[in-house]
Structure formats: C-alpha cells, structure tokens
C-alpha cells in the first residue's frame, strides 16, 4: 500500500514565498469579493476560469488575457512559462471550488494536506480520499497533477472546505523545477499528518450554497 508522504526534516526550506503567490493571492481576493457580492464582472470571470479547471491553460484560449500577468514578466528570477502555468492552474481550480459557494473558498493558511485531512471526519483515514491524495502527489507532470487536483477540489467544494490557493500556486510553480515535486509532496504530507480535525466554519453544519452560476 502506498503511504501518504511523510513530513520533511525540520530544516527543509519553506514553500510559498514570492511573486506567484502574491499575484494569485491578490487576484483571487479581488475576484472572490466581487463574486460574493454578486458583481457581474466577477461572476463572468469565474465562469471563464472554470472552463480551464484541470486542463492545460495553453489549450484554453479564452483564459488568455483574463489575468494580468505583468508582475511575472517583470520578475527576472522567474521561469515565465512555468509561473504563468502555475497561476492559471491555481486560479482555474479555485474558480471551480468557489462555484455556487456562499463563502470564500480561498482562505490563507490552509495547505492542501490539511484540507484533505478535513475530508476525513473524526480524524479517521478515509482510504478512497487518501488514494486520491497520493495519486495527485505522484503525478508525472503539471497537466496530470491539475487533472487529479480537480477531483480533490470537487470533494472539498462538496464539504465547504477552503484552501489557500495562493500557496498552492507557488507550490505548482515549484513543482515544475528540478527537485520541486519532492519538496512539495513533503510539504503536503507534513500538513496532512499535522492536521487535527477541529470544528470550525468549514466543518460544522450543512454546506452553504449560492445559486448564481450553478451551471
């Protein structure tokens, strides 16, 4: 049986800093406020973004120009294509997660491993969910990872469990670098193992739904 990745050593380098994280955090915060306020432009933007959820952004021309990527191209330290792919992948997954939800599904500080663990009531390991998580972590490339993350996002949406998509975007960028997948997997594994189920607004009570753009 394949185990969930173990936690990294204490001196492992931190994941989640930089231009990609800042850009996605700002763009999602803006769109999320607009969506929850039922602003037409934000609702329309999310509808466009959802078409790319779990897919290669380059294969969805309707996404081009939707997000201002200028900060990526003015940062000399970034690999531009990898950064753009990470931004679009994270934002399209968030738009799917946010669909028909009455509260924000982007929430800083909730890493993927912790969010997945919240799908397991009482702290018990749910084997089908664990297997989906492991499959995502063993993805050979970003398009495959995006497709497998889409499956997890749908589970999270069904339980109103939020996720830090700015952090996820940064991790998707790092995933595309040499040694990146191992570092990201270790961080996800640490968050999974460290999480202890608590009653909060994401786990207590029925899901809050929003009827707009439910299609």
DSSP-assigned letters across all residues of 97-121: HHTTBSS-SB-TT--HHHHHHTTSG
Grade residue 84 by pLDDT with cuts at 50, 70 and 90.
very high
Q: Give Cβ neighbours of residue 207 (< 8 Å, ≥ 6 apart).
A: 101, 158, 159, 160
Q: For residue 2, tell me if it sits in a domain.
A: no
The values of phi and psi at residue 128, to 5°, are -60, -40
Domain that holds residue 100: 19-194
Q: Is residue 137 part of a domain?
A: yes
> At 32, which CATH number?
1.10.520.40
Q: Are 136 and 148 in contact (CB under 8 A)?
A: yes
Q: Which two tokens stand for residue 42?
A: 């934000």
According to the model, what pLDDT value does residue 12 have? 39
In the beta sheet, which residues pair with residue 101? 209
Overall domain count for the chain: 1
Domain membership of residue 47 (yes or no) is yes
Q: Answer yes or no: is 1 within a domain.
A: no
96 located within any domain: yes
Confirm whether 173 is domain-assigned: yes
pLDDT band for position 78 (cuts 50, 70, 90) = very high
Residue 14 scores a pLDDT above 80: no
| pLDDT (mean) for 35-45 | 96
Residue 210 lies in a domain: no
**203 domain residue, yes or no:** no
Measuring CA to CA, how many Å separate 99 from each of 16, 143, 172?
A: 25, 22, 22
How far is 160 from 83, CA to CA, in rounded Å? 28
């Amino acid at each position: 049986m394949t185990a969930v990745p173990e936690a990294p050593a204490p001196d492992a380098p931190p994941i989640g800093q930089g231009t990609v994280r800042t850009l996605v955090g700002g763009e999602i915060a803006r769109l999320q406020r607009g969506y929850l306020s039922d602003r037409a432009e934000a609702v329309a933007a999310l509808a466009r973004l959802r078409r790319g959820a779990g897919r290669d952004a380059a294969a969805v021309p309707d996404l081009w120009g939707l997000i201002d990527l200028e900060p990526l191209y003015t940062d000399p330290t970034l690999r531009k294509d990898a950064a753009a792919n990470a931004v679009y992948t994270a934002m399209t997954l968030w738009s799917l997660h946010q669909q028909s939800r009455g509260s924000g599904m982007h929430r800083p500080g909730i890493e993927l491993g912790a969010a997945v663990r919240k799908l397991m009531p009482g702290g018990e390991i749910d084997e089908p969910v664990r297997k989906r998580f492991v499959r995502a972590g063993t993805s050979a490339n970003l398009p495959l990872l995006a497709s497998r993350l889409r499956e997890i996002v749908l589970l999270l949406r069904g339980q109103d469990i939020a996720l830090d998509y700015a952090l996820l975007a940064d991790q998707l960028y790092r995933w595309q670098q040499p040694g990146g997948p191992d570092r990201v997997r270790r961080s996800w594994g640490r968050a999974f193992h460290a999480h202890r189920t608590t009653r909060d607004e994401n786990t207590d009570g029925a899901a809050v739904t929003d009827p707009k753009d439910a299609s």
